[in-house]
Amino acid sequence: MKVNHNFANIAQSYLFSTIAQKVADYTAAHPDAPVIRMGIGDVTLPLPQASIDAMHAAVDELSHQESFRGYGPEQGYDFLKDAIQAYYASHGTQLESDEIFVSDGAKSDVGNILDLFDQDNTVLVPDPVYPVYVDTNTMAGRKILYMDANESNGFLPLPDPAVKADIIYLCSPNNPTGAVYDRAGLKAWVDYALANQAVILFDAAYECFVADENLPRSIFEIEGAKKCAIEFCSFSKTAGFTGTRCGYTVVPLELEFEGMNLNKMWLRRQTTKFNGVAYIVQRGAAAVFTEEGVKQVQEHLDYYRENARILADAMDELGIWYTGGKNSPYIWLKCPNGMESWEFFDYLLENANVVGTPGAGFGENGKNFFRLTAFGDRDKTKEAVERIKKLLS
């Protein structure tokens, strides 16, 4: 049996394990140090009560033969797809029900969607980048091109007509930079994709953080996108589902390449290699869209947004260049005094007892940048900011 040798080409990432080791070493040497962790993009607030109530009710349903649910539709129950469709409509985007596929999270689908594409395609990703885009394509043996995201373009690169790419990854609001494309930016990408018969894989996992109505939440707000784009969404950051696992992927009915319909292909892929998301979880996700669910989620988002604002205000005060902080839970700051990101990591850990993520972990262009997240506790966020301000001012 011949193994897939492309696995040997996947870069081993030691980013989070190195961070964990450095923090462990530091706390072992300084057991009383009040370390504040702002490195990992995981939520901390509990699930919205509406989801809790809905999941309790769903568990009860499964305890009685009359209301028991076995295999459900692989692409998700209508009650959830209808709610997602209405959510899109409330932001001005019309979707057909058959364009929505419920998943166990954006990460799974961002990887699995590659089943639909030939190995012989050129992939375009930004640098810095969420490593999953690179690793999943390396695994499949595809050629990867990088585009520079940097200070001069606000970490929002636009298409270069001279570059020929077939599969383009865009993430907006971006992980790790927090930068958000405006409509003109996305339109440039849609135009490029249509002109080059390329497909855009649009990672909208952080769309719920978009507060500015002038910024798009969905690539399908852009004319023509249904002919070139697939969108990946998640309940992870919206409703704290990082450990509860639910997302959805939108594959337009009219998306066709070389005479093959990608919506039909994805339906076939999912019915063959997936068996749907747990009924209980889908009920919890649907509750996010109820009147009380919307209110509760908004309170959580406001909490994280206020954390982000506190971080952003501190950067403004310190005169530190950054992206994100608004319309995003991430702050991507330029390391002060020309420091490199790992150097700044050590400096911040040792002198402020604050842990963040070195930008170098996301690519060459991140080597002088640093990510802080707004998913932490309010008081700890304030305390971290005070320490950072004291250290850097």
Residues 28-57 contacting its own copies, CB under 8 A: 42-47, 49, 52, 55-56
What is the rounded CA–CA span in Å between residue 37 and residue 380?
A: 9
Q: Has 41 been labeled as part of a binding site?
A: yes
CB of 64 to its own copies, least distance (A): 6
Q: Hey, what are 168's tokens?
A: 């383009």
203 binds its own copies (CB under 8 A): no
Rule CB under 8 A: which of 127-166 touch its own copies?
132, 135-136, 139, 166
Contact status: 60 vs its own copies (CB under 8 A): yes
Query: Pairing mode, if any, of strands 143-148 and 122-127?
Result: parallel
Which one of 58-66, 217-225, 313-321, 381-389 is the stretch in contact with its own copies (CB under 8 A)? 58-66
For 30, which DSSP code? S
Work out whether 71 is an interface residue with its own copies (CB under 8 A).
yes
How many Å apart are CA 176 and CA 129, to the nearest integer? 7
Our finding on whether 198 is near its own copies (CB under 8 A) is yes
Say which amino acid occupies 300.
H
By beta-carbon proximity to its own copies, the closer residue of 30 and 378 is 378
Contact between 218 and its own copies (CB under 8 A)?
Answer: no
Interacting positions 276-315 with its own copies (CB under 8 A): 276-281
Q: How far apart are CA 154 and CA 182, in angstroms?
A: 12
Q: Smallest gap, in angstroms, from Cβ of residue 171 to its own copies? A: 16
Query: What is the residue whose two structure tokens read 């589902």?
Result: 241
Is 304 in contact with 374 (CB distance < 8 Å)? yes
Contacts of 222 (CB under 8 A, 6+ apart): 183, 186, 187, 190, 216
Report the amino acid identity of residue 188. Answer: A
Q: Which stretch binds its own copies (CB under 8 A): 24-32, 151-159, 267-275, 385-393?
A: 267-275
Determine the angle formed by the axes of helices 78-90 and 279-287, rounding to 10 degrees.
30
Any contact of residue 125 with its own copies (CB under 8 A)? no
14 labelled ligand-binding: yes
Amino acid at 10: I
Extract the annotated binding site for pyridoxal 5'-phosphate. Answer: 71, 106-107, 130, 175, 206, 234-236, 245, 275
